[in-house]
Amino acid sequence: MESSYLLKEPQIEQSSWSFPFITIIFVLIFVVTLIVVLLYWHNKKTVVVDPWEIPRSKVQIIKKLGEGSFGEVYRGIVYNTNGHSNRNCAIKTVKGGAPILELKRFLEEAEIMKRFKAHHVVQLLGVVTKDEPTLIVMELMSKGDLKSYLLAHPLYAEEDPKGQSITLREQMQMMLEIADGMAYLSANKFVHRDLAARNCMVDWDGTVKIGDFGMTRDIQVSNCYTTGQGRPVPIRWTAPEGLKDRVFTSKSDVWSCAVVWWEILTLGKDPYQKFEHKS
């Protein structure tokens, strides 16, 4: 009996450890899969597709129309976007190496324009923000800015072989169209702050529209916009309260609108020609 006891081999239950190990593996796989799925759906929900975004491949730049200190404007074509067929457009961009503040203002202008839809306000067609450079794509106003248009067209005369003169009736129509565009901005609680003939655009049929919204601000909350003393303002077009206190309201835009009307009636002359800025 004793020898048989000593020779008896111990019995090892191999399945005693395998079941919990397999269970742990399955649990880990399930948890990892769940985390991946949750992250996927979270990212899918947080990525908002901008309906204004245009693929860069659908925008073709053709010719430079003008430039400023930090920006450039081109004539181009935008292909089949937002339900529209191919159409001519104006393309605005920021020069390479422009200050970060200018790029910020450029992007703010695009965001402001997304909220406009009126016949006498230049319409945004879309933006290109993927990669560089960022582009703002707008409807093309084929006759350029109002300032240049006025300077190029004399007052109506009976002897006008080229047919380029402007009649008083046409001047009045321009004034009404500018007033209509500014009334739209005011009704929607925006203050332009930079209204001038140079920032109004003329379409192929002579229609005038408000443009250049780089200084435009939303005044939904306070009905006014206050800027710092260091910011430049268009002195000859700015209302007294804007110059003195840097406070801008829709009433300030009314003042600027009257100055633009004066520009129209004088065919593009600068306001307050006899005064220097220091005066």
pLDDT 10s digits, 154-180: 876 655 656 678 999 999 999 999 999
Q: Is 194 a catalytic residue?
A: yes
pLDDT at 91 over 70: yes
Q: Lowest mean pLDDT: which of 10-24, 105-119, 175-189? A: 10-24
- Of 140, 169, 188, which residue is a domain's last? 140
Same structural domain, 58 and 117: yes
Same structural domain, 103 and 207: no
DSSP H or E run through 67: strand 59-67
Q: How many domains does the chain have?
A: 2
Same structural domain, 63 and 73: yes
| 3-state SS class at 263 | helix
pLDDT at 57 over 90: yes
Instruction: Look up residue 204 and give its two tokens.
Output: 């192929």
Same structural domain, 89 and 190: no
CATH number at residue 234: 1.10.510.10
Average pLDDT over the chain, rounded to whole?
A: 86
Q: What is the rounded CA–CA span in Å between residue 253 and residue 223?
A: 13
* DSSP string over 144-176: -BHHHHHHHSPBP-S--TT---B-HHHHHHHHH
- The two beta strands, 190-191 and 217-218, are antiparallel
- Of 107, 140, 173, which residue is a domain's last? 140
Residue 247 lies in a domain: yes
Residue 45 lies in a domain: no
Burial per residue of 173-210, b for 16 or more beta-carbon CB atoms within 10 angstroms, e otherwise: ebbebbbbbbbbbbeeebbbbbbbbbbbbbbeeeebbb
Residue 200 lies in a domain: yes
Same structural domain, 111 and 153: no
Q: What is the rounded CA–CA span in Å between residue 158 and residue 96?
A: 49
Same structural domain, 263 and 211: yes
CATH number at residue 111: 3.30.200.20
* DSSP string over 115-130: T---TTBPPEEEEE-S
Residue 151: closest CA among 172, 131, 166: 166
pLDDT at 73 over 80: yes
What is the rounded average pLDDT of the residues 89-94?
A: 95
- Asked if residue 199 belongs to a known ligand binding site, the reply is yes
Same structural domain, 169 and 250: yes
Q: What is the rounded CA–CA span in Å between residue 208 and residue 12?
A: 94
The count of residues in the chain is 279
Of residues 143 and 41, the one with the higher pLDDT is: 143
- 193-244 pLDDT, tens per residue? 999 999 999 999 999 999 999 999 998 888 888 877 666 789 999 999 998 9
Catalytic residue among 131, 145, 160, 194: 194
- Asked if residue 236 belongs to a known ligand binding site, the reply is no
pLDDT at 67: 87
- Asked if residue 64 belongs to a known ligand binding site, the reply is no
Same structural domain, 156 and 268: yes
- Of 79, 112, 140, which residue is a domain's last? 140
- Could you tell me how many helices (H) and strands (E) the chain has, helices first? 7, 11
Residue 12 lies in a domain: no
Residue 165: closest CA among 144, 148, 149, 186: 149
At 270, the amino acid letter reads D
Full domain range(s) for residue 179 = 141-272
Same structural domain, 268 and 146: yes
* DSSP string over 12-42: P-THHHHHHHHHHHHHHHHHHHHHHHHHHHH
H-assigned helices in 48-97: none
What is the rounded average pLDDT of the residues 257-266?
A: 97
What is the rounded average pLDDT of the residues 245-258?
A: 95
Confidence of residue 186 (pLDDT cuts 50, 70, 90): very high
Are 158 and 168 contacting, i.e. CB atoms less than 8 angstroms apart? Answer: no
- Asked if residue 198 belongs to a known ligand binding site, the reply is yes
Residue 16 lies in a domain: no
Residue 89 lies in a domain: yes
Q: CA gyration radius for the chain?
A: 32
Same structural domain, 77 and 59: yes
Same structural domain, 117 and 157: no
pLDDT at 82: 63
Report the 10 Å Cβ neighbour count for 239: 20
Give the rounded percent of residues in the chain with a pLDDT score beyond 70.
84
